[in-house]
Amino acid sequence: MTNLIEYENSTDEVRAIYDDIRATRSSDYINNFWKALANHPPTLRRTWETLKEVMAGSGEIDPLVRELIYIAVSVTNGCEYCIASHTTAARAKGMSDDVFAELMAIVATANMTNRLANGYQIPVDDKFKT
Amino acid sequence: MTNLIEYENSTDEVRAIYDDIRATRSSDYINNFWKALANHPPTLRRTWETLKEVMAGSGEIDPLVRELIYIAVSVTNGCEYCIASHTTAARAKGMSDDVFAELMAIVATANMTNRLANGYQIPVDDKFKT
Amino acid sequence: MTNLIEYENSTDEVRAIYDDIRATRSSDYINNFWKALANHPPTLRRTWETLKEVMAGSGEIDPLVRELIYIAVSVTNGCEYCIASHTTAARAKGMSDDVFAELMAIVATANMTNRLANGYQIPVDDKFKT
Amino acid sequence: MTNLIEYENSTDEVRAIYDDIRATRSSDYINNFWKALANHPPTLRRTWETLKEVMAGSGEIDPLVRELIYIAVSVTNGCEYCIASHTTAARAKGMSDDVFAELMAIVATANMTNRLANGYQIPVDDKFKT
Amino acid sequence: MTNLIEYENSTDEVRAIYDDIRATRSSDYINNFWKALANHPPTLRRTWETLKEVMAGSGEIDPLVRELIYIAVSVTNGCEYCIASHTTAARAKGMSDDVFAELMAIVATANMTNRLANGYQIPVDDKFKT
Amino acid sequence: MTNLIEYENSTDEVRAIYDDIRATRSSDYINNFWKALANHPPTLRRTWETLKEVMAGSGEIDPLVRELIYIAVSVTNGCEYCIASHTTAARAKGMSDDVFAELMAIVATANMTNRLANGYQIPVDDKFKT
């Protein structure tokens, strides 16, 4: 089991990142994902910078939609931790029960048709190649 | 290689579905996916009904966002046909180059963090279990 | 691109395995999969012995059903080579167009419900744990 | 954790589907999968109709073999819920310990050879393209 | 839940393999993986022979590196059992916390770039085809 | 098909990264992966920084071993582009035919045993939990 590094026991390097996570999210809560990555500060820093830029940075895609996309990937991969944490995050950003259910329906359907396309060995239409 | 069933050579049962695809999409174009599934009319019918309901039916999620979610799944699974066809569909619904790039960044990031969560065997936070 | 080792150019060690493949399959044809693995004789030997035992050895599951299961895995993983080769093998063992289509429908459906189970984080029923 | 909707607390729309599940399976037991999907009746209805048609409808593939294929997909994807529920279903339809073990051996072997084909970048034989 | 076959209750056939596992690993401990496979002696034998040859046999790749590769696959697939058992095995062979963290970083990065390559539909460079 | 941005046509921002790729790799060759990501400079920059740090930065894991791990992931995911490019990179760093073959054997074996662990629903040994 991975050791989880609490804020109180963290080095200055880790604490600076924890502080940025707290500030960015306007919440004191540091979830286990970051506490685990803190075992290797370069991974903690790099992963947080990427996540902050991609999920909380400027961009055209709405923050809630970003979470929906994140969940779609996590459900497809079957990542239990990521499904639990990002479903919670999406609800905090306003995901209703209906939106969650519609998201699941799309993810399920895409996983279905992906395999039909594989199995029937369907050639890509010329008009989709441009 | 799967035989692709053209509109001209289709049975009444298949043609009725082709007509509904055309009407729903306001386009005469039937892509190879449907022409391949037409080899087994029950699969063609069931898959089309599901796709129509999930991707084109009423719901709270915007049609373009539905395509983004679809692409996220297809990219995660590496389904070449589905990536090509739904990227084309998303562009037709207004996906800009920037939105596509942001989508790719989210999908890539989620695939990365999914494996960090797996590998570090991170326990789900209690607050994500409710 | 992997070098493909032809029967004529093979060492005695490889040729003995090629001969066993031919005898087991009652066909002179050696497909590219084996010609590629022949670059590393221990892998060729070990893989062939496993495949021969699992796919052609004694057992309760019918040879055609074994191929259907094999295809189900290959389609789920999106392995183009394996889908093409085992679909051909299954047809040689009697897979009709309808059986292929039913197989695809089951594989597609299972891939769909797998994600619904993931996404809804459904607890395993007690009665399924025994 | 997803709310599970019990028969007693279900709406008329959900109850009608629960009744059909019970009738089709000749059993009063409604498993958690359906109780979870019942949170979104359109998903419950669509998923049940698909599953009923594909797994319990007419067709050339034997009902037990359908379950074996379903398990093959679920094991490949690592879907814990689906492995548990469909292994139970397959045993109820007559799957012996030996058939289960043979199934696992085929699934394991296919997952192995799928990666050998990927890694060696093996070109598809011409004779598998027709 | 799979029945786990203890050494004391095993048949001669299974015990001979258990003895070889113990001798090869210089440890009396038989882990649950083998106790589960022992339900089907041919699978136990075949899987052990393969694992012994590939992971403990002669070869150019260092035993610890073999474990790192094994973990990379298991983390990508999200196999909880395999991650836990092979992380333990790697630590026993000398994997430090830093090496584990670097391994995770590589696995995470590869999973990220794999999807960027899929999503951008990047053509393979000619110089990578030779 | 993604537009590939050549060095000659790149903006100052992209060119600076191309220059760093060239300097880091001691080669003028910019492969298609980077030319595709250059369509979105923030993704190009972030991905390059991560890859440079993880694959070419200081660390305990040998550069060739890093490539082997990278290939293991790419083969498991079936990413054609990544398999082709990183196999080429690994050969440039000294990967022999035998090392490649041993790598493939480990990847194939791990993919096999991952599914046996899934399918037999094997509980994690207590001693692997610490």
Q: What is the pLDDT of residues B20-73, one digit of tens each?
A: 999 999 999 999 999 999 999 999 999 999 999 999 999 999 999 999 999 999
Residue C1, min C-alpha distance to chain E (Å): 6
Per-10-residue mean pLDDT, chain F, length 130: 92 98 96 98 98 97 98 98 98 97 98 98 93
* Residue D130, pLDDT above cutoff 80: no
Confidence of residue A91 (pLDDT cuts 50, 70, 90): very high
pLDDT of residue D1: 61
Q: Which of A69, A105, A129 sits opposite B54 (nearest CB)?
A: A105
- Give percent of chain C with pLDDT exceeding 70: 98
Contact of E53 with chain C, judged by CB distance below 8 Å, is answered with yes
Residue D16, min C-alpha distance to chain C (Å): 21
What residues of A are in contact with residue E98 (Cβ under 8 Å)?
40
HSE value, Cβ hemisphere, 13 Å, CA-based, for B13:
10
Q: Do D105 and E42 touch (CB under 8 A)?
A: yes
d(CA B32, CA E51): 43
* Residue D66, pLDDT above cutoff 70: yes
pLDDT of residue C2: 85
Q: Taking residues A55-74, what's their average pLDDT?
A: 98
* Residue E32, pLDDT above cutoff 80: yes
CB A20 within 8 A of CB A48: yes
* Residue E123, pLDDT above cutoff 80: yes
Cα separation values, F39 from A118, B84, B99, F6, F23, Å: 29, 18, 12, 11, 21
Q: Taking residues C23-40, what's their average pLDDT?
A: 97
**Chain mean pLDDT for chain D:** 97
Confidence of residue A82 (pLDDT cuts 50, 70, 90): very high
Q: Taking residues A35-48, what's their average pLDDT?
A: 98
CB A58 within 8 A of CB A74: no
pLDDT tens-place string over residues D70-111: 999 999 999 999 999 999 999 999 999 999 999 999 999 999
Confidence of residue B1 (pLDDT cuts 50, 70, 90): low
Residue B88, min C-alpha distance to chain E (Å): 12
What residues of A are in contact with residue F1 (Cβ under 8 Å)?
129-130
Chains sharing 3 or more CB pairs under 8 A with chain E = A, B, C, D, F
pLDDT of residue A2: 85
Contact of A123 with chain E, judged by CB distance below 8 Å, is answered with no
CATH of A1-58 among 3.20.20.70, 2.40.100.10, 1.20.1290.10, 2.60.120.560:
1.20.1290.10
Q: Do C69 and D72 touch (CB under 8 A)?
A: yes
Q: Taking residues C89-118, what's their average pLDDT?
A: 98
Query: For chain F, what are the domain ranges?
Result: 1-58, 59-129
Contact of E104 with chain F, judged by CB distance below 8 Å, is answered with no
pLDDT of residue A81: 98
Which architecture does CATH list for A59-129? Up-down Bundle (1.20)
Rounded to two decimals, what is the model's pTM? 0.98
Phi-psi region of B78 (alpha: psi -120 to 50; beta: other; left: phi over 0): left
* Residue C1, pLDDT above cutoff 80: no
**Chain mean pLDDT for chain E:** 97
pLDDT of residue F58: 96
- Give percent of chain D with pLDDT exceeding 90: 98
d(CA E117, CA A70): 18
pLDDT tens-place string over residues B100-121: 999 999 999 999 999 999 999 9
Residue C50, min C-alpha distance to chain E (Å): 7
CB A106 within 8 A of CB B55: yes
d(CA C79, CA C70): 11
Cα B68 vs. chain centroid, distance in angstroms? 9
Respond yes or no on whether ipTM tops 0.95. yes
Q: Say whether B59-129 and B1-58 share the same fold.
A: yes
pLDDT of residue A1: 61
| Closest-approach residue (CA) in chain A for E121 | A129
Q: Which two tokens stand for residue F76?
A: 């498991």
What residues of A are in contact with residue E108 (Cβ under 8 Å)?
43, 47
pLDDT of residue E1: 61
| Closest-approach residue (CA) in chain B for A5 | B122
pLDDT of residue D85: 97
pLDDT of residue F115: 98
- Which long-range contacts does E1-7 make (Cβ < 8 Å, 24+ apart)? E1/C129, E1/C130, E1/F121, E1/F123, E2/E36, E2/E39, E2/F120, E2/F121, E2/F122, E3/E36, E3/E39, E4/E32, E4/E35, E4/E36, E5/E35, E5/E36, E5/E38, E5/E39, E6/E35
Contact of C46 with chain E, judged by CB distance below 8 Å, is answered with yes
Residue A58, min C-alpha distance to chain F (Å): 11
